[in-house]
Amino acid sequence: MPLRQLLASLHHRAWEILWVVLLACTLTQSGVPSRDPVERVRAFTRSAEFDFAAWTLDAAALKLGQLGLGAANYLAEADRRSLVLEYGRLVDEAAQAERRILEVYADPSQTDPEAAARPIRVELASIQVRQAGLRPLAEAVLEEQVTVVLADLGLTVGGEPIPPVAFHFSKLPLALIVSPRDVIRQDADVQLETDLGLDEQVALEGRVEDSLGVSALVVPVGGVGTYPTMVQETGALGWAAEVVAHEWVHNYLTLRPLGLNYDTSPELRTMNETTASLLGTAVGRRVLERYYPELVPPPPEEPAPPPPSQPLPFDFRAEMHETRVTVDGLLAEGRIEEAEAYMEARRQFFWENGYLIRRLNQAYFAFHGAYADQPEGAAGEDPVGAAVRALWAESPSPAAFLRRMAWMNDYADLETALRELPATP
C-alpha cells in the first residue's frame, strides 16, 4: 500500500476508534432504562433482548481488521464495481434458494420434503460460502463510495466524514414498539433477538398489551445506528447505499442536539428520522448515478388517467394518510374502541388490495409516522415532517440542511428556521 494510502488508513482507523468510544459514552446502559415506560415494557422483554454490546464489539473488531488489511485499496475501480455487483447477485440467489426450500415444504404433494429440499440446501450453502467471502470487501467498497458522495456534498472534514462511514451487513434485531391506546405516541422501542419467531412476537405483544393497557407491535427494521451501523443484507444496491447513508446521519447527529435529544419528544424523533431519510435517499441515488448508472431507476412516468368506467388505481400512501387522520380524530374524541375497530377494518382493506399488514394499531402509526420524508402516508396531518421537507427544499445544499437540523433542540427551532428562509419572489 502506498505511504499516502497507509497514512489515510491509519487516520481513518483513529477516527473509528474515537467514535466508538464517544458513542459508547452516550448510550444508556441496558440495565438502567432511561424512562419509566421503557422500564415497564422491559419487564416482559429482558430474556429476548438483542445483545448490542456483544454485536458492536464483534463488528468493531471486524471493521478494524478490514482497515488493517486494506484489500479493497488494491482493486481497480472496475473490479471494485464488479465485486459489489457480484455480491448483490449472490444475496439475491441465496434469497431465491431459501424461497424454493419454503415452497418445497409448503407443497402438499411432497411426501418427503426433507429429501426434496436437500439439493437446494447444498446449493444454498455453496452460495453462502461465496457470499461470506465477498462480504468484507463489498462492505469496504460501499463504505468508500458513500464517503466519496458525502465529500461531493460537502459533508467531510479534510476529505473524511466524521464519523467515518462504517457498517456491517447483518441480520437485524426486531423492534417492539409501544404506544398508549388513547394517543399515537412512541413510548418505548425495545430491540429484540433476530430469530424471535412470529408466534413469540404475537405472544409478546399480547402480554404487554394485556398487562400494561397499551398498544404494542413487533416490527422489522432496515438498519440500526450503532457504530459500526447495522444494515440488512440485500441485493438492492441503491437501497443498501441509502440505508448506509441514513444510519451514518444518525451517527453524525449522535453528539449534536438533534441526536442527543432523540427520545425527548415525538417531534424531535420525527425531525431526526425525516432528516436521515431525506439525506439517505439523496446519497443512495448519487451512489448509483456515480458507480452503478445502469441501476438508476427511470424517472416515474405520469400515469395516464383511467377511462371513466374504471376506478382509480389503489394509492397506498393516500389511503394510509386517510386512515391516520381518521384514527387521530377518533382518539381525540376518546373513542378508543371505535378507532381500534376501524384500524382492523382498514387493515383488511389494505390486505384486499395487496398490502399484507399483520397488525394496524396505534403502535404501527407511532413507528411508521416518524419517517415523514414523503407527503401523506402514516404521519397523517402531523406538521413536523412537512416542516422538515420544506427546509430541505429551500436549503442551499444538503450539507447546509444537515448542519442546520443537527443543532436544533426542539420543534420551535425548526419553525424559526422556516421563518428565516428568504421570501419567495
Look at 7-16, 110-119, 178-187 and tell me which has the smallest mean pLDDT.
7-16
Integer Cα distance of 248 and 230 in angstroms: 10
Look at 32-36, 43-47, 315-319, 345-349 and tell me which has the smallest mean pLDDT.
32-36
pLDDT band of residue 1 (cuts 50, 70, 90) is: very low
Predicted confidence at residue 2, as pLDDT, reads 38
pLDDT digits (tens, 9 = 90+) for 151-188: 999 999 888 898 999 999 998 999 999 999 999 999 99
Integer Cα distance of 55 and 4 in angstroms: 32
Residues whose CB is less than 8 angstroms from the CB of residue 283 and which lie 6 or more positions away in sequence, other chains included: 146, 149, 150, 153, 241, 242, 245
Q: By the 8 A CB rule, do 364 and 378 touch?
A: yes
Q: How many CB atoms lie within 10 A of CB 92?
A: 14
Instruction: Tell me the backbone φ, ψ of residue 382, rounded to 5 degrees.
Output: -55, 120
Q: By the 8 A CB rule, do 238 and 229 touch?
A: no
Look at 40-49, 65-74, 162-171 and tell me which has the smallest mean pLDDT.
65-74
Residues whose CB is less than 8 angstroms from the CB of residue 414 and which lie 6 or more positions away in sequence, other chains included: 271, 384, 387, 388, 391, 405, 408
Strands (E), 184-301: 188-192, 214-219, 223-224, 229-231
Direct distance between the N- and C-terminal alpha carbons of the chain, in angstroms, rounded to an integer: 55
Predicted confidence at residue 102, as pLDDT, reads 85
Domain ranges of the chain: 3-167
Q: Residue 85 corresponds to which amino acid?
A: L
Helix (H) or strand (E) holding 178: strand 174-180
Q: By the 8 A CB rule, do 275 and 246 touch?
A: no
Integer Cα distance of 71 and 385 in angstroms: 42
Residues forming a β-bridge with 192: 49, 174
Q: Mean pLDDT across the chain, nearest whole number?
A: 87
What proportion of the chain, given as a percentage, has pLDDT over 70?
87
Integer Cα distance of 42 and 166 in angstroms: 30
Q: What pTM, to 2 d.p., does this model score? A: 0.86
Predicted confidence at residue 361, as pLDDT, reads 97
Instruction: Summarize the confidence of residues 34-58 as an average pLDDT.
Output: 86
User: By three-state DSSP, how is residue 31 classified?
Assistant: coil
Quote the Cα angle for 119-131-86, to 5°. 110
User: By three-state DSSP, how is residue 245 classified?
Assistant: helix
Integer Cα distance of 325 and 414 in angstroms: 23
Predicted confidence at residue 423, as pLDDT, reads 64
pLDDT band of residue 36 (cuts 50, 70, 90) is: confident
pLDDT band of residue 19 (cuts 50, 70, 90) is: low
Predicted confidence at residue 66, as pLDDT, reads 67
Predicted confidence at residue 113, as pLDDT, reads 87
Predicted confidence at residue 22, as pLDDT, reads 53
Predicted confidence at residue 3, as pLDDT, reads 34
Residues forming a β-bridge with 190: 176
Look at 55-64, 148-157, 201-210, 300-309 and tell me which has the smallest mean pLDDT.
300-309
Predicted confidence at residue 222, as pLDDT, reads 86
Predicted confidence at residue 345, as pLDDT, reads 96
Instruction: Summarize the confidence of residues 50-58 as an average pLDDT.
Output: 87
Instruction: Summarize the confidence of residues 14-43 as an average pLDDT.
Output: 57
